[in-house]
Amino acid sequence: MQEGGKKLSHVKNSLEKAVKEGISAMEIENLANDLMAKEGGKPSFKMVDGYRWATCVNVNNGVVHGIPKKSIIFKRGDLVSIDVGMFYKGFHTDTSFSVGVSTGVKTNKFIETGKIALKKAISEAKVGKRIWDISNAIETTLNKAGYSPIRSLVGHGVGRELHEDPQIPCFVDSLKRNESPIIPEGAVLAIEVMYTKGGSNVSLSDDGWTINTADGKIAGLFEETVAITKKGSIVLTELDSGLTN
């Protein structure tokens, strides 16, 4: 999975650089397909029943599962979130990011908070800790900045299947820490930060896939695939992956 994660990190890096004013979501989709083919992988998302695209592209109030349409043209001030997964040598890896298109100070702060929340969550991903610790790090970071975690969607385990146990919420609420799964050595987790400037409620679009914030507020999305070892966690989908703790 480490090799596949490194390859997906190259794809992600190129996609992030490609997000510019005047570019369409379909151009991002086409680029992702081309890049994964060059890396020798296959789009994980096309292996999801009923989904025909390599990416999910969400703009502004889009949270997840946005269909990359030709009609979606990135404009100045947009917040674009892209989710992409790749199947390589029998294993999936999964990653996502949000990027601003010439966005202002407030939106940039919103984006940076998501990055910080993910970094703190990954620092809790250690052998013997619990999923609660990851979720608590996400929720605490977001709430402190005045943002809300999405509650109806979760991160997940990943490996031979794109979505595996355990579920990894972005919040803890009344869940007791000792009721949460212990993180074992050898686990591979798709740790995902999904959050919004407004309330946590979401709605499903008429296309049957795209999930938006119910109140129309902007949403952010950051995700890495993380392998748990005795020596620490390894972020497989970073360009310079290595032990983080």
pLDDT (tens digit, 9 = 90+) per residue, 146-197? 999 999 999 999 999 999 999 999 999 777 899 999 999 999 999 999 999 9
In a domain, 129, yes or no: yes
Residue 9 near residue 237, CB atoms below 8 Å: yes
Q: Which has the closest alpha carbon to 138: 224, 61, 62?
A: 224
In a domain, 114, yes or no: yes
The pLDDT of residue 131? 98
Per the structure, the complete domain to which residue 163 belongs is given by 2-235
**The pTM is what?**
0.95
Name the domain count of the chain: 1
List the CATH number of the domain containing 153.
3.90.230.10
In a domain, 42, yes or no: yes
Q: Which has the closest alpha carbon to 163: 135, 190, 130, 127?
A: 190
**Interatomic CA distance for residues 226 and 151, integer angstroms:** 21
Q: Which residues contact 144 (CB under 8 A, 6 or more apart)?
A: none
Burial degree of 94 (CB within 10 A; 0-12, 13-18, 19+): buried
Q: Are strands 219-229 and 188-196 parallel, antiparallel or unpaired?
A: antiparallel
Token pair of 31 as six digits: 């680029």
The pLDDT of residue 245? 56
**Interatomic CA distance for residues 149 and 199, integer angstroms:** 8
**Interatomic CA distance for residues 184 and 190, integer angstroms:** 15
The pLDDT of residue 107? 98
In a domain, 240, yes or no: no
Q: Give me the phi and psi of 210, to 5 degrees please.
A: -65, 125
In a domain, 244, yes or no: no
In a domain, 199, yes or no: yes
What are the distances in angstroms from CA 33 to CA 27, 49, 55, 157?
10, 18, 9, 24
In a domain, 242, yes or no: no
Q: Which has the closest alpha carbon to 5: 243, 197, 241?
A: 241
Residue ranges, the chain, pLDDT below 50? none
Task: Count Cα neighbours of 24 within 13 Å in the Cβ-side half-sphere.
Answer: 9
In a domain, 241, yes or no: no
The pLDDT of residue 216? 98
